[in-house]
């Protein structure tokens, strides 16, 4: 169970990414590292801490950022970066109706 403040950080990104982000937050709590901000930017995960992270945690954050770039932020299915309008990493299902996706299907 993570603390309420960190739960708030977790909820700043879509549910599809929670399984990737939750272990990072748990590791931060285990290492007594403060999480400053968790957000989606340009379709990718950004995970900011106070910087007192172990090498192991740094690697975990890097891997999660790479993994999120290939994971639908809505549902966790394999996704790709969608570029029409605002950038977002989504699976085909959740990209439907977006301009870039519809054009790709023409
Ligand atoms: Zn999806």
**Could you read off the pLDDT tens digit of each residue along the chain, which spans 106 residues?**
899 999 999 999 999 999 999 999 999 999 999 999 999 999 999 999 999 999 999 999 999 999 999 999 999 999 999 987 789 999 999 999 887 776 655 5
Domain interval for residue 85? 4-105
Q: Would you state the pLDDT for residue 106?
A: 54
- Asked if 50 contacts 24 with a C-beta cutoff of 8 angstroms, the reply is no
Beta partners for residue 48, in sequence order: 37
Q: Would you state the pLDDT for residue 97?
A: 85
- Residues that place a CB less than 5 A from ion ligand 1: 72, 74-75, 77, 91, 94
Q: Please tell me the distance from the alpha carbon of residue 30 to that of residue 43, in angstroms, as a whole number.
A: 28
**Tokens read off for 66:** 């790479």
Separation of CA 34 and ligand 1 centre (Å): 30
Separation of CA 60 and ligand 1 centre (Å): 23
Q: How many CA within 13 A on the CB side of residue 104? A: 13
Q: Would you state the pLDDT for residue 104?
A: 57
Q: How many domains does the chain have?
A: 1
For the entire predicted model, the pTM comes to 0.90
Separation of CA 53 and ligand 1 centre (Å): 31
């Amino acid at each position: 169970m993570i603390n309420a403040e960190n739960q708030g950080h977790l909820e700043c990104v879509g549910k599809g990414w929670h399984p990737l982000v939750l272990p990072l937050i748990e590791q931060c709590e285990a290492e007594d590292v403060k999480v400053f901000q968790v957000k989606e930017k340009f379709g990718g995960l950004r995970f900011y801490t106070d910087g007192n992270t172990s090498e192991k945690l740094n690697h975990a954050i890097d891997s999660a950022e790479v993994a999120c770039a290939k994971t639908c932020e809505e549902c966790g299915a394999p996704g790709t970066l969608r570029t029409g309008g605002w950038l977002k990493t989504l699976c085909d299902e959740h990209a439907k109706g977006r301009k870039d996706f519809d054009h790709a299907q023409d």
